[in-house]
Structure 1
Amino acid sequence: MRLVHRHGGRERVLATRVETADSVLAKARGLMFRRSVLDDYALVFRFDAPTTRSLHMVFVPFSIDALWLIEGEVTRKRRLRAWTGLGWGTADAIVELPAGAADGVEEGDVVRLEGARESG
């Protein structure tokens, strides 16, 4: 499974090690208590419908890039700082990436999960 960014007719892979947080427990835990993530890692939270969704960085000791998506279109992008970051946006999916991995991604771009379904 991989996470692909499309912008202006170009495509690039943001992550090849992708986990999905589909269960209530996986969504609640997110990246908490991990010491780090690999450079080509993404955690994808999928939901049934778009609504305002928030992220916090409590117990996450490293900064991340977060993308809020509606049907694959980026509605918000934010860098969240370790321990204290907080962000929210409207989304039916949220993607968490290592800080810097979403450089070049802009609101309105398309980010899609491709390949086999995997749950966490």
Structure 2
Amino acid sequence: MRLVHRGERSEDSPGSDDDDREPTVLADDVDVARSTLEQGRGLMFRRSIPDGYALVFPFDGVDARWLHMVFVPFAIDALWVVDGEVQKRARLAPFVGLGRAQADTVVELPAGAAAGVAVGDEVRLVE
């Protein structure tokens, strides 16, 4: 499973229904936190995460989703996503970082991995 990103369609591109934006791989080592226990633990108590890694939190429906960095000793990039569209991107600091936004999916990546991702971009899991 991979996490892929497509930038927002340029206003200069022809008005076509075909999506010709080239996807880029944000992560090729993806864990999905489905259970309440997995979601509650998140990245806590890990010493680091490797480049190319993502932890994805899928939820049933859109709601305010909080992230905290308690017991996480490294910075991360976080994405809040609704129906595959990025609603917010934030860099969260070790131990004290806190973030909140509306989302049906939250993605945690190594710091810097989401540097090219903007609000409105598409982010999806693919096999």
Name the structure 2 match of 1:69.
81
The TM-score with structure 1 as length reference comes to 0.94
Q: Write the distance in 2 (CA, Å) between the matches of 1:36 and 1:111.
A: 23
The TM-score with structure 2 as length reference comes to 0.89
Name the structure 2 match of 1:96.
108
Q: Write the distance in 2 (CA, Å) between the matches of 1:64 and 1:90.
A: 19
Name the structure 2 match of 1:112.
124
Name the structure 2 match of 1:10.
22
Please tell me whether Structure 1 or Structure 2 has the larger radius of gyration of its CA atoms.
Answer: 2
Gaps of 5+ in 2: 10-20
Give 1:24 shift: 0.4
Name the structure 1 match of 2:65.
53
Aligned partner of 1:44 among 56, 67, 86: 56
Give RMSD over aligned pairs. Answer: 0.5
- The one-letter code of the counterpart of 1:3 is L
Answer 1 or 2: which has greater strand percent. Answer: 1
- Identity level (%): 59
Q: Secondary structure at the match of 1:10?
A: coil
Aligned positions, number: 115
Q: Deviations over 1:22-41 (max 9, x none)?
A: 00000000000000000000
Q: Secondary structure at the match of 2:23?
A: strand
Q: Deviations over 1:58-86 (max 9, x none)?
A: 00000000000001100000000000000
- The one-letter code of the counterpart of 2:54 is A
Gaps of 5+ in 1: 116-120
Matching of residue 78 in structure 1 with residue 90 in structure 2: yes
Q: Write the distance in 2 (CA, Å) between the matches of 1:72 and 1:39.
A: 22
Q: Write the distance in 2 (CA, Å) between the matches of 1:98 and 1:74.
A: 17
Give 1:45 shift: 0.1
Give 1:10 shift: 2.7
- The one-letter code of the counterpart of 2:85 is E
